[in-house]
Structure 1
């Protein structure tokens, strides 16, 4: 077959994108490995969650493709485990589980994108290119502060004053998004796209629920409120003393 993607494929060849493929269906593995290698990618395969986690932690990958229904350690548990360690490599879920709640669960667990089987390779390839184009934490500020709230993006730790705050992966991403936009109102749509990678409205209260949880954790030890609701518009985080 001719290599897919023209000039963009040539760019992938030069970049030698390393893909971690965690998938137990050998037909899918064979197809993806062949097509991704034609596109200039280097593919490393794991057929179960535990092996995939070991390879991921060893490092060196630009993107990961993860099936949800894996032997042993399932895809959701695998991704949650990786995100808890601070593993920030982009993850694309590739699965037959197609419901809205399934998509929400995958993205809540720490996935960056979600594609349902059967799929077109052209779409998967485009999604991988989009994920690998995103700036990594190394290219952005890694120490964030708003009033006495501090975040270390690299170690994924958060403090309010001297008190450490334990956050779930999606709560951390939500707080990071707010802190990188300190003083600016961000809309519900911006949060859905920037934190959950939803380019549609899932018709759930997912944003409101996470904002409420985040407020509880960030503000329960201190009377000073940092996260503000702008009714009819969205949310912002601000330093009350500024």
Structure 2
């Protein structure tokens, strides 16, 4: 099973929390939600998520207090502070509390996802030893990299999981349900269109001609098959 990547989302604005959580879940992350600073701190210390998304203005403990407290209690993951434009937060002050980075509201969801993706890639296993070679490519799942003709191509979390599953099951027909289970997990509320979209993106990265795939082939009516004889 894939290593579950957890993100703690500490935000009192219910609508924003819902939108961010939904988006992050669709990207393959497990989201732990908290509506205030005290609950947020408890969640972080109990669950040790990879990333904490922390609102600056919170009921109960403020974001700065939560950050100071979790750092004092040994939390070493990434803390991204979410702050509204109007708040005059001194960047240097924020870093003093132990914030890794911050994003200004209202933020673009794609930017937030990209920021989290990049932080997780660097904080996850720095062990680059696991690698799968095929044709002129090498997949390093721990660093989310595909090396093609010596050129590094970054994979998203989901592309990474999909490719890894195919490489572990070469030349085997994999039905869509099995793949969705593997990539999104049990309570995945995703449809096959979402999966197909990720396959299309992955093909663009690994195929010479994505419209006529050599490796990642469609098995009509069933799913996919990763064809490679090596």
TM-score, structure 1 length as denominator? 0.50
Q: Unpaired runs of 5+ in structure 1?
A: 1-18, 90-135
Correspondence for 1:23: 10
User: How do 1:124-203 and structure 2 match up within 5 A?
Assistant: 142-197=130-185, 199-200=187-188, 202-203=190-191
Q: Distance in 1 between matches of 2:228 and 2:161?
A: 19
Correspondence for 2:55: 47
State the 1:175 CA deviation: 1.6
Q: Unpaired runs of 5+ in structure 2?
A: 1-5, 14-33, 57-63, 85-102
Residue 176 of structure 1 aligns to a residue whose secondary structure is helix
Q: Distance in 2 between matches of 1:140 and 1:208?
A: 28
Correspondence for 1:14: none
Q: Structure 1 residues 146 and 74 mapped into 2: Cα distance closer, same or farther (>3 Å)?
A: same
Q: Distance in 2 between matches of 1:206 and 1:239?
A: 25
Q: Structure 1 residues 76 and 224 mapped into 2: Cα distance closer, same or farther (>3 Å)?
A: closer
Q: Structure 1 residues 154 and 36 mapped into 2: Cα distance closer, same or farther (>3 Å)?
A: closer
For residues 150-193 of structure 1, give each alpha carbon's deviation from its aligned partner in whole angstroms, at most 9, with x where no partner exists. 11223322123334434344323322222232233322112222
State yes or no: 1:81 paired with 2:83. no
TM-score, structure 2 length as denominator? 0.52
State yes or no: 1:236 paired with 2:221. no
Residue 145 of structure 1 aligns to a residue whose secondary structure is strand
Q: Structure 1 residues 199 and 140 mapped into 2: Cα distance closer, same or farther (>3 Å)?
A: farther
Correspondence for 1:116: none
Q: Structure 1 residues 166 and 31 mapped into 2: Cα distance closer, same or farther (>3 Å)?
A: closer
State the 1:88 CA deviation: 7.5
Q: Is the 8 A contact 1:185 1:235 kept in 2?
A: yes
Q: Is the 8 A contact 2:128 2:142 kept in 1?
A: no
State the 1:211 CA deviation: 1.5
**Equivalent pairs, count:** 171
Q: Distance in 1 between matches of 2:145 and 2:215?
A: 18
- What is the CA RMSD across the aligned residues, in angstroms? 4.9
Residue 151 of structure 1 aligns to a residue whose secondary structure is strand
